Each structure stands twice: as C-alpha cells, then as structure tokens.
Amino acid sequence: MTEDKVLAFIRGSKEEYISGEEISRSLGISRAGIWKYIEKLRRNGYDITALPHLGYRLTHTPDKLIPTEISWGLDTKVMGRTVHCYNSTDSTNRLAYKIAGDGAKHGTVVFAEEQSAGRGRLGRSWSSPKGGIYMSVILRPRLGPQDAQRVTLCAACAAAAAIRKTANLRSEIKWPNDILVNRKKICGILTEMKAEQDRISFIILGIGVNVDPPGHQLPRCATSVRNETKMSGVKVRLAQEILRFLEAYYAKVEKNFGSVIEEWRNFSATLGKRVRVNTHEGMLEGQALDIDEHGALILRLDNGFNKHIISGDVEKCC
C-alpha cells in the first residue's frame, strides 16, 4: 500500500526531517497525495510531525500487530514474511487453518489484537482481550503425526526465550505448552494439525501471550508482562522475538531435535519434580524424568516403570 511506502521512506531517512518534495519525487506522488497518506498514517497511530520548510519526522510508532510494524527490522527468512493482521477476530487458529487449507505458505502468520473465541486445548477457551499477542503460524514440517509435539516444544522454547530476552523475566515451561512466570501462566500454545496417516500436511501453531491486558480480564492463575515488569509498549518487539527464536528452533525440528530437547530442559519447570498428569488414560502420578525424541514426557511411575506421555496436562501449580 502507498502509505506503507511513505512510512518506510520517512523511517529510512538519515536526516531528522525529510522533505515532502523528496518523498514526492522519489515515490512519484503529488505533495497533496503525500499529505493524504500522512493523515491516514496518523489515524493508524503514527505520530508524524510536519514542519514547513523542513518536512516530516516520525516521532511515535503504534505498538500494534500490523504488517508495517511487524516487518520493520524483522530479520527472519521465513517466519512472518507473510502476515495477515486483524484488529479483532474469533480465533487466529481458525483463520490460519482455513488459509493453510487454501495453500498459504509455510511461515505465514495470522495476528490479531483481540479474539472473541480464543481456543485452548481440548475445547477449553483462551481469554483474549486487547493487550495480548494472538498469533498463529502455518508450518509444513516433513514429520509424521506422531512427531507433532516436537513443534509445540520448539514453540515453547521460542516463547520462553523471547519473554526472557524482551522482558528480562525468568520464564519457564510447564510441559507441554504453558509458559509460566512466578508460577503463573503468561503464555499458552495450541498446536493443531491436518495430517494423513504418515505425514503432516500442515500444523497451525497458535501462541497467546499476555502482554499488557486489563488485569481483571485474565483468569486467576494468569499473569502478564505488565503485571511482572510494569513494561508497556513491547507487544511488537516481543512478537518479533518469538518469530526469530521460532525460526532458529524450528530449523532443528526435523534433523537435530536433540538440541531442542537440551534447550527445553533448561527452561523446564517440570523435570525432576513429582507431578500429577491428567491423560486420556486417567490421572498418572510420578517423577518427571525427561522428554523423549517425539516430545513425550517420560514419567517414572511409583511401580518403577517409565511411561511416555504424548499428550496430557500437568496439574496446575496455583
């Protein structure tokens, strides 16, 4: 879109101010046309100072999950190179599933500022007020369905690492898909897939992070970046970090998954602990020993046997 070109031009300028004439000449738009686009950018939350004889200067960018902000400075090769951004939707996972079925490329991401029907696992819901990151990444791994959990573990490492780097918080992973800070959930991951018998056709990796939502709109056991740090205005930066780390971990998902497991162990709030895990076979209790090559949790049961659990819920901590 033309206003994106105008914005990129102002942003990329080495001078403090860039003249309307220069933008006009370079982009082949009239001065009046430039003014129209500046007004549109302002309506989208950009503060642009305009001074006669000097020109334009960008003084504030919105912390919104919109294409211009997500792509600015993003150095990934695949993750997030194509994005679809919504102010509000029911569920980014639902939308991503639909466009993946229509052929959307590996690495495409659907973002929303809020969701009216955010999905958790097993029919649970994900509270999604404004002030969170709601994103769904379309992935096409060359893996069998039994290895889909690997992708969840990559995403958990990426989200935990991004939260540590952006907010300097000690984020930990509760197997399989919860990111906790001070034992409260700050991020959840929902991996959904379409698969044939021995091949995944695509995975929709849904990630929800509480950044600075109104406190009363989160469940009791939840926290947010804002609650923990008082930071605000970090949504875009955090989303970009998630994409960067995801690209790095995902590069190892097919052939070098052992190195992801090692990283995962460093983030784990589960290993070494006595845990109760709700599984489709009922509640299992034991010592959380490790993760296997499929991403399953290895539980040492009280009878001395090891049980590999591919899906389940470790009981809540708070």
Q: Which of 20, 80, 188, 286 binds ligand BT5 (CB under 6 A)?
A: 188
Q: Which is nearer to ligand BT5, 41 or 174 (CB)?
A: 174
Q: Does 218 bind ligand BT5 (CB under 6 A)?
A: yes
What's the CA gap between 156 and 183, in Å, rounded? 15
Dihedral of CA 214/217/218/220: which sign?
A: positive
Q: Does 189 bind ligand BT5 (CB under 6 A)?
A: yes
Stretch that binds ligand BT5, among 13-21, 128-136, 225-233, 249-257 (CB under 6 A): 128-136
Half-sphere exposure of 193 (CA within 13 A, CB side): 24
Q: Which of 107, 131, 206, 312 binds ligand BT5 (CB under 6 A)?
A: 206
Q: Which of 33, 45, 41 is nearest to 7 (CA)?
A: 41
Q: Which is nearer to ligand BT5, 18 or 156 (CB)?
A: 156
Stretch that binds ligand BT5, among 132-140, 163-171, 226-234, 265-273 (CB under 6 A): 132-140
Q: Which of 64, 119, 226, 235 binds ligand BT5 (CB under 6 A)?
A: 119
Q: Does 124 bind ligand BT5 (CB under 6 A)?
A: yes
Q: Which of 62, 67, 120, 144 binds ligand BT5 (CB under 6 A)?
A: 120
| Chain residues 165-184 in contact with ligand BT5, contact rule CB under 6 A | 177
Number of chain residues interacting with ligand BT5 (CB under 6 A) = 27
Cβ count within 10 A of residue 56 = 22
Q: Does 278 bind ligand BT5 (CB under 6 A)?
A: no
Q: Does 118 bind ligand BT5 (CB under 6 A)?
A: yes
Q: Which is nearer to ligand BT5, 7 or 309 (CB)?
A: 309
Place of tokens 């460093």: 266
Q: Which of 210, 240, 270, 311 binds ligand BT5 (CB under 6 A)?
A: 210
Contacts 24+ apart (CB under 8 A), 62-66: 63/232, 63/233, 63/234, 63/235, 63/236, 64/113, 64/235, 64/236, 65/111, 65/112, 65/113, 65/133, 65/135, 65/235, 65/236, 65/239
What's the CA gap between 316 and 16, in Å, rounded? 52
CA 274 to chain centre: 30
Stretch that binds ligand BT5, among 75-83, 130-138, 158-166, 274-282 (CB under 6 A): 130-138
In sequence order, which residues have a C-beta less than 8 Å from that of residue 134 and are 6 or more positions away?
92, 111, 112, 113, 114, 115, 118, 128, 206, 207, 208
Residue numbers at the binding site for ligand BT5 (CB under 6 A): 91-93, 115, 118-122, 124, 126-127, 134-136, 177, 185, 188-190, 206-208, 210, 218-219, 222
